[in-house]
Chains A and B, each alone.
Chain A
Amino acid sequence: MVLALGAGSLNIQAGGAYQQPKDFVREAFGGAPPEPSRLWIDAALKAQIRQVLERDLGVLRLRYWGKDHRTAWILDEIGKERPITTGIVVENGTIERITVLVFRESRGFEVRYPFFTDQFRGARLREGLDLDREIDGISGATLSVRALTKLARLALLLHDHSDFAGGR
């Protein structure tokens, strides 16, 4: 499940809520976030999303924040049972940061730590919509690692289709 959290409230109450999405967006733009934009999911993008997630997104559009050649996305993906809410910033077609905002699974919490998420910094999409690098996993957290890797690829793909994609 991937949610356009921007469509609803940006406040989350959950056991493993490490940062509120609105705070992530504010931080991503130095305290002055732009007005949210919306990305419509057309047929071509839908097919690419299916390639990344191995299923449809299930929404018509996604809310995101963009300025210059930089975009911020709040995306969810299920690891094993429950969605992991993630904030991702993309600049000029590369991952600038990926932050686990809410983790609801029983196992695999390690994916929230910088020692893991730092591996995504600078990652780009290569042919086949894969990341241009190998992401080392965490034993016992395979599904959480896989979920975050998918979300990183998805954010890069969405950035490319956004109004702020120039400059790659």
Chain B
Amino acid sequence: MNEFNENDIGTLLRLKRHEQPPPDYFDNFLHEFHRRQRAELLRQPLWRIALQRAQDFMLQLNVPTLTSYPAAATAVVVCAAVLSLKVYQTPESATAMPAVATVAVQQQAAPVAVSVASTVTDDDESWSLSTRDFGSTPFRSVSDGARTHRPAASPRYVLDSTPVSYEPSLRF
């Protein structure tokens, strides 16, 4: 009696091809597959279904051929960052500019006010009015202070000669 050789093993195993499921099994397999897919779809959360729909939509647009996903994601992040910087910085700079201008004007005006205060008296209305016009009033130099003497002031006289009483007595 011969032993099983390798060919016999192969032949025996090939006979296993004749083990077949019931005749209608393959006909019903596709229906069963669809039924299971529907059941699985119903078990999925809503957000996942929405995500899949979005992916399908993007695939229909053929977006992946235009650019790779990482590049697209990076571009979106960069754009979002630039936009957010512009959006959040523009109003602040717009409000900051007048403030800076005000400070600058005040810094310019401060010496004027000081100089005016030092040279003009309280009862001179014209000077006080004119000094409020910060843009047009020029700085006044200290040397101009001589012209500010009021005309009503009493004249001062300087004696060039020494008093008689201080003159030395005559010597003969």
Q: Is this pair of chains taken from one and the same complex? A: no
Which of B's residues lie within 8 Å of A, judged by CB?
Answer: none
